[in-house]
Chain A
């Protein structure tokens, strides 16, 4: 055989690796497709107007998830409202004010640690910190999620602060603006997209969270009003899914909730991609 350019061993290696890679990508893709289709097929037929617009009643044996939807929105809004100023403020401190390298490293290490702590531990600590003093309620759940999402908002804001050109700041300083004025008029407007990205990521995490809410926000399914209802317990969609599936065996309702959660996840991912793309575009300008 004249020109056998590759030894058999190398050829086999190449073929093997190629097959393994394609197989892995195939498995991943199949998993996503299966989960998506299975949940939607099982869940969408169970989503009825009655389910969405009523609260559950033992008398008429009706199951409605309106309270759970509302509770999810309340917790989402409350947590974002509290975590936003804290996270953005922390990020501004880190990238604009901090001069002590050691302190900076400490804060960043703390944020890393926070993002690695599993939600069940947040749930426990939230129970000890908040629920023991104010009772099991939506507010306690929201405050727990604030701690959980602090690093998300911080990191997203920090990333976007890095893209505000140094020359803008210097220009403003050169015109005689003070530090706070520069932050307020030049730096903050420049990091809006980072804050939005952070919000979207945090919203995704809050929507999907269940372990941290189980012992802090409770299981109740009554419609609560704003803002007084924040002191009462309430289940979010994820907690309701867990209760309906695991404790009551109502799989139809559970799948309906799962399908709603799936839609929301898709929506949030879509929004995050759009914002990030705009962000990239601006960075390349």
Chain B
């Protein structure tokens, strides 16, 4: 009986994979893999519908890259400070704060982004609409911050004290020690934190839906209204039918493939960290 329960997780993964394949592959075949993946125009409700998802793929990649570019340095630096320099009191206060940040529902991020970030960007950069790739990048950067900080702190805390003592005894200053000895020693853990952040950012739907503007443009500029892979699925699902609906499942399949790749990398890094 317990074996059955243990196998449920495996069953769920198989079920998800099979269902996504069954519902996602037909549309890809019908549209043609090249047209689907590299088509630059998405017009699912036009008289002559076009199903090219390159704009979504690129938006997701740019958006994630931007979030990593903004979020990782801040998260990494905070993690080093919290793990090595902060007083125990500050560390515990900040850790609760970071947990809170992690626990805030994504729709709340979306709401605040909609009312603070979007008008802010419009005024600051003098663009007609603030709902843009840039707004999504900032929201995503904030949302991945807690995962990055938490995981990096755990990795840095696990660095053997002897390494640092040895470096200090050789005359290195504390800060030099932390960045040149502790950080390299914790590098797979920190890399795993970054990969986890990538996974979070690429999979986030609701917050992005509320701030990115949701128009299927190619992401040519930071201030363009764009649609991510995740939001492409959810924004048309409610009223879709036929090939359009199938194409949405194909988008989900593409997203799933991305996520599985990221998971594989994450698992590899975590295994190395354990060793």
CB distance from B87 to the nearest CB of A (A): 12
A28–B145 CB distance below 8 A: yes
With A28-B94, A29-B94 already in contact, the answer to whether A262 and B108 are too (CB < 8 A) is yes
| B-contacting 9-mer, from A50-58, A60-68, A108-116, A223-231 | A108-116
Q: Does A168 contact B (CB under 8 A)?
A: no
CB distance from B72 to the nearest CB of A (A): 10
A242–B110 CB distance below 8 A: yes
With A97-B3, A116-B262 already in contact, the answer to whether A31 and B175 are too (CB < 8 A) is no
How many Å lie between the Cα of A187 and that of B65 in the bound state? 46
A215–B3 CB distance below 8 A: no
A35–B104 CB distance below 8 A: yes
How many Å lie between the Cα of A25 and that of B79 in the bound state? 8
B230–A86 CB distance below 8 A: no
The residues of A that contact B249 with a CB separation of less than 8 Å are 124
Q: Does A173 contact B (CB under 8 A)?
A: no
A121–B9 CB distance below 8 A: no
A125–B74 CB distance below 8 A: no
Q: Does B111 contact A (CB under 8 A)?
A: yes
Q: Does A194 contact B (CB under 8 A)?
A: no
A245–B111 CB distance below 8 A: yes
Interface size class of A (residues with CB under 8 A): 35 or more
Q: Is the interface of A mostly helix, strand, loop or mixed?
A: helix
| A-contacting 9-mer, from B28-36, B37-45, B199-207 | B199-207
| Cβ < 8 Å to B, chain A residues 126-182 | 127-129, 147, 150-151, 154
CB distance from B100 to the nearest CB of A (A): 6
Q: Does B16 contact A (CB under 8 A)?
A: yes
The residues of B that contact A242 with a CB separation of less than 8 Å are 107, 110, 206, 210
CB distance from A231 to the nearest CB of B (A): 21
Name the residue on A nearest B2 (C-beta). A93
CB distance from A196 to the nearest CB of B (A): 17
1/0 per position for B202-244, CB-CB distance to A under 8 A? 1111100110000000000000000000100110011000000
A210–B106 CB distance below 8 A: yes
The residues of B that contact A114 with a CB separation of less than 8 Å are 9, 12-13
B255–A118 CB distance below 8 A: yes
Question: How many A-B pairs fall under 8 Å by CB?
Answer: 234
B173–A261 CB distance below 8 A: no
A208–B106 CB distance below 8 A: yes
CB distance from B237 to the nearest CB of A (A): 6
B77–A125 CB distance below 8 A: no
1/0 per position for B1-32, CB-CB distance to A under 8 A? 11101111110110110011001000000000
Q: Does A24 contact B (CB under 8 A)?
A: yes
Q: Does A107 contact B (CB under 8 A)?
A: yes
How many Å lie between the Cα of A29 and that of B206 in the bound state? 24
How many Å lie between the Cα of A242 and that of B252 in the bound state? 21
Residue in A13, A151, A208, A261 whose beta carbon sits within 8 Å of that of B9 in the complex:
A151
The residues of B that contact A23 with a CB separation of less than 8 Å are 77
How many Å lie between the Cα of A179 and that of B105 in the bound state? 42
B2–A97 CB distance below 8 A: yes
A89–B19 CB distance below 8 A: no
Which 8 residue pairs of A and B lie closest in terms of their CB atoms, listed nearest first? A118-B203, A208-B105, A89-B5, A24-B77, A93-B2, A93-B6, A21-B81, A120-B205
What are 24 of the A-B contact pairs (CB < 8 Å)?
A14-B175, A17-B179, A22-B81, A24-B81, A32-B101, A35-B101, A38-B116, A89-B1, A90-B9, A97-B6, A107-B9, A112-B266, A116-B263, A118-B203, A120-B233, A120-B252, A124-B233, A147-B16, A208-B105, A210-B107, A238-B206, A245-B111, A261-B108, A269-B100
Q: Which chain B residues have a beta carbon within 8 Å of chain A's beta carbons?
A: 1-3, 5-10, 12-13, 15-16, 19-20, 23, 73-78, 80-82, 85-86, 94, 96-101, 103-108, 110-112, 114-116, 142, 145, 149, 173, 175-176, 179, 199, 202-206, 209-210, 230, 233-234, 237-238, 249, 252, 255-256, 259-260, 262-263, 266-267
Q: Which chain A residues have a beta carbon within 8 Å of chain B's beta carbons?
A: 6, 10, 13-14, 17-18, 20-25, 27-29, 31-32, 35-36, 38-39, 85-86, 89-90, 92-94, 96-98, 103, 106-107, 109-114, 116-125, 127-129, 147, 150-151, 154, 204, 207-211, 214-215, 238-239, 241-242, 245-246, 251, 254-255, 258, 261-262, 265-266, 268-269, 272-273
